[in-house]
């Protein structure tokens, strides 16, 4: 048996976890620069706010229904996600982190009869320990666990945990209640084609001849149908494939026209990328910088600048990566454009290997110790406490628009929540 644990309305639930007064009220979270709706509480869904709707089109409805609007606070969501995962793994050791708010669980070593009650316990504990409500679907394959999770979410009588029935008629009923477009991996494109062939529900898809599916679509569709029949085709992927690149980039809150602001933005991305790389125990053999104008503004001249240099030896040192990123920025900078976006990419990454050999020097060791001290201070005192001056000292126009952002409750001492007595 597999299970899929999925956080309900994750970003909205994170906002609520530290602000209980938001319970029962419609809450939405906006994308970067407060652009579009990317998460909705159930109440916000109920008043007809659509996923992905531009915020400015929703203003009237926000006012009318007193919707609580928040800018996205990924620092908080990432940390809450880690807490949820840690709580779940107290109960089930074999897990696959599928996305920021979804975890697959391998229940096979634990035995069948306990599955529902175990998952009910997990659900209660996660809520108690993190404040995040989750739903769990239990079934013999990952595709079916996804489907069972859908039912757990939609049907209040399940109390958030649903195990797919074992007997044929009940299971068929469950599969028939799910639209074919909502089956994991089918999506809107295949969904439309399948509907054209008279395949409307997950049950119809499970009953299609698999050879037919392979010929008309591909092996993925064939595998999906087999999984819907209860044949395991995908096991847990315990290790994520090592990343090949690490990118930090953002669109600016306002367009940027001067060099100082652009280089500050690039410096911030470089510093954050290097930090992230160290936290994963990696080194980069390459650093790239890119920045560009707004391609939707055809009334303005367009320019894409940037460049790449090799790092030898490979490194995760902030001063080295920053120095190269600044050099690239100076080289590619052109005056007279309105820049909309900038970023830094670290490439040629390696993980967990000792960078031995010819170019390893005393300096390298010194640098490692310096970076370890830097990371430790920032971990204890809050991100950005110690940082290169190139990243700037004041809030500037290039920063993201986040007019409705909640505090970083769990990762910054300065922003800890207060309990009034
Ligand atoms: Mg979710």
Model confidence pLDDT, tens digit, residues 307-360: 999 998 899 999 999 999 999 999 999 999 999 999 999 999 988 755 555 555
Distance 172 CA to ligand 1 centre (A): 25
Confidence (pLDDT) at 239: 59
Question: Are 112 and 254 in the same domain?
Answer: no
Q: Any idea what the CATH number is for the domain that residue 295 is in?
A: 3.30.1490.100
| C-alpha torsion angle, residues 43, 49, 51, 56 (rounded to 10) | -130
Q: Any idea what the CATH number is for the domain that residue 21 is in?
A: 3.40.1170.60
What the block records as the tokens of 199 is 């395949």
Q: What is the mean pLDDT of the chain?
A: 90
Which domain does 377 fall in, by range?
Answer: 246-391
Distance 149 CA to ligand 1 centre (A): 10
Question: Are 71 and 83 in the same domain?
Answer: no
Please report whether residue 396 resides in a domain.
Answer: no
pLDDT tens, position by position, 302-320: 999 999 999 988 999 999 9
Confidence (pLDDT) at 384: 82
pLDDT tier at 411, thresholds 50, 70, 90: confident
Confidence (pLDDT) at 189: 77
Question: Are 281 and 222 in the same domain?
Answer: no
Please report whether residue 138 resides in a domain.
Answer: yes
Q: Quick check: 243 pLDDT over 70?
A: yes
Distance 417 CA to ligand 1 centre (A): 25
Confidence (pLDDT) at 237: 78
In b/e form, how buried is each residue of 131-141, taking b as 16+ CB within 10 angstroms?
Answer: bbbbbbbbbbb
Q: What percent of the chain has pLDDT over 90?
A: 68
pLDDT tier at 375, thresholds 50, 70, 90: very high
Distance 27 CA to ligand 1 centre (A): 15
Please report whether residue 270 resides in a domain.
Answer: yes
Distance 69 CA to ligand 1 centre (A): 19
pLDDT tier at 410, thresholds 50, 70, 90: confident
Distance 379 CA to ligand 1 centre (A): 28
Please report whether residue 412 resides in a domain.
Answer: no
Cα 272 to Cα 253: distance, rounded to the nearest angstrom: 18
Residues 6+ apart with CB under 8 A from 21: none
Question: Are 205 and 97 in the same domain?
Answer: yes
SS3 (DSSP) at 271? helix
Cα 138 to Cα 119: distance, rounded to the nearest angstrom: 9
Q: Quick check: 188 pLDDT over 80?
A: no
Please report whether residue 402 resides in a domain.
Answer: no
Distance 317 CA to ligand 1 centre (A): 36
Question: Are 253 and 286 in the same domain?
Answer: yes
Q: Which of 228, 263, 290 is the last residue of a domain?
A: 228
Question: Are 202 and 70 in the same domain?
Answer: no
What the block records as the tokens of 394 is 């004041």
Question: Are 68 and 82 in the same domain?
Answer: no
Confidence (pLDDT) at 404: 87
Q: Quick check: 174 pLDDT over 90?
A: yes
CA count, 13 A, side-chain hemisphere, 83: 21
Q: Quick check: 388 pLDDT over 60?
A: yes
Q: Quick check: 210 pLDDT over 80?
A: yes
Q: Which helix (H) or strand (E) holds 104?
A: strand 102-106
Confidence (pLDDT) at 15: 96
Q: Quick check: 298 pLDDT over 80?
A: yes
Distance 49 CA to ligand 1 centre (A): 17
Taking the whole predicted model, whether its pTM rises above 0.85 is answered as no
pLDDT tens, position by position, 15-39: 999 998 999 999 999 998 888 999 9
| Nearest one of 57, 408, 397 to 250, comparing CA atoms | 397
Please report whether residue 234 resides in a domain.
Answer: no
Distance 103 CA to ligand 1 centre (A): 10
Question: Are 202 and 293 in the same domain?
Answer: no
pLDDT tens, position by position, 58-99: 999 999 999 999 999 988 999 999 999 999 999 998 899 999
Distance 85 CA to ligand 1 centre (A): 13
Confidence (pLDDT) at 112: 59
Cα 24 to Cα 278: distance, rounded to the nearest angstrom: 41
Q: Quick check: 418 pLDDT over 60?
A: yes
Confidence (pLDDT) at 241: 66
pLDDT tier at 172, thresholds 50, 70, 90: very high
Question: Are 162 and 94 in the same domain?
Answer: yes
| Nearest one of 156, 148, 143, 29 to 80, comparing CA atoms | 29
φ and ψ of 356, to 5 deg: -85, 180
**Which residue would you say has higher pLDDT here, 412 or 318?**
318
Most confident of 113-122, 129-138, 366-375: 129-138
Question: Are 380 and 265 in the same domain?
Answer: yes
Q: Quick check: 362 pLDDT over 60?
A: no
Quote the distance between the C-alpha of residue 268 and its chain's center. 20
Distance 222 CA to ligand 1 centre (A): 26
Distance 219 CA to ligand 1 centre (A): 27
Distance 302 CA to ligand 1 centre (A): 38
Domain count, the chain: 3
Please report whether residue 411 resides in a domain.
Answer: no
Question: Are 300 and 196 in the same domain?
Answer: no
Confidence (pLDDT) at 363: 67
Please report whether residue 237 resides in a domain.
Answer: no
Question: Are 177 and 280 in the same domain?
Answer: no
CA count, 13 A, side-chain hemisphere, 382: 10
Q: Any idea what the CATH number is for the domain that residue 151 is in?
A: 3.30.70.270
- Give, in degrees to the nearest 5, the angle at Cα 194 between 188 and 200: 95
Distance 161 CA to ligand 1 centre (A): 14
């Amino acid at each position: 048996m597999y299970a899929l644990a999925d956080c309900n309305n994750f970003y909205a639930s994170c906002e609520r976890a530290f602000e209980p007064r938001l319970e029962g009220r419609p809450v939405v979270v906006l994308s970067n620069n407060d652009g579009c709706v990317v998460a909705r509480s159930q109440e916000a869904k109920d008043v007809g706010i659509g996923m992905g709707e531009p915020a400015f089109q929703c203003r009237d409805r926000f006012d009318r229904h007193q919707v609580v609007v928040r800018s996205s606070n990924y620092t908080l969501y990432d940390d809450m996600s880690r807490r949820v995962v840690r709580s779940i793994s107290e109960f089930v050791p074999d897990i696959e982190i599928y996305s920021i708010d979804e975890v697959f669980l391998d229940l096979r070593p634990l035995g069948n009869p306990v599955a529902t009650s175990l998952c009910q316990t997990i659900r209660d504990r996660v809520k108690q320990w993190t404040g995040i409500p989750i739903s769990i679907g239990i079934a013999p394959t990952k595709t079916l666990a996804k489907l069972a999770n859908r039912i757990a979410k939609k049907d209040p009588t399940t109390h958030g945990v649903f195990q797919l029935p074992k007997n044929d008629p009940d299971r068929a009923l469950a599969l028939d209640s799910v639209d074919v477009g909502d089956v994991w991996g089918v999506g809107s494109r295949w969904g439309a084609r399948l509907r054209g062939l008279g395949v409307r529900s997950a049950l119809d898809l499970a009953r299609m001849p698999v050879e037919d599916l392979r010929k008309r679509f591909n092996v993925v569709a064939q595998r999906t149908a087999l999984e819907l029949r209860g044949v395991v085709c995908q096991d847990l992927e315990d290790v994520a494939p090592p990343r090949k690149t690490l990118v930090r980039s953002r669109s600016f809150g306002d367009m940027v026209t001067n060099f100082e602001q652009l280089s500050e933005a690039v410096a911030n991305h470089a510093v954050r990328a290097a930090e992230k790389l160290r936290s994963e125990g990696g080194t980069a053999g390459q650093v790239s910088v890119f920045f560009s104008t707004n391609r939707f503004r055809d009334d303005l001249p367009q320019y894409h600048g940037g460049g790449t240099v090799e790092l030898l030896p490979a490194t995760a040192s902030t001063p080295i990566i920053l120095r190269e990123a600044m050099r690239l920025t100076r080289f590619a900078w052109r005056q007279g454009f309105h820049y909309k976006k900038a970023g830094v990419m670290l490439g040629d990454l390696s993980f967990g290997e000792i960078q031995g050999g010819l170019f390893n020097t005393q300096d390298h060791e010194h640098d490692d110790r310096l970076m370890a001290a830097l990371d430790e201070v920032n971990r204890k005192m809050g991100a950005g406490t110690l940082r290169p001056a190139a990243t700037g000292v004041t809030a500037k126009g290039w920063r993201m628009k986040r007019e409705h952002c909640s505090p970083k409750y769990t990762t910054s001492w300065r922003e800890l929540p207060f309990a009034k007595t």
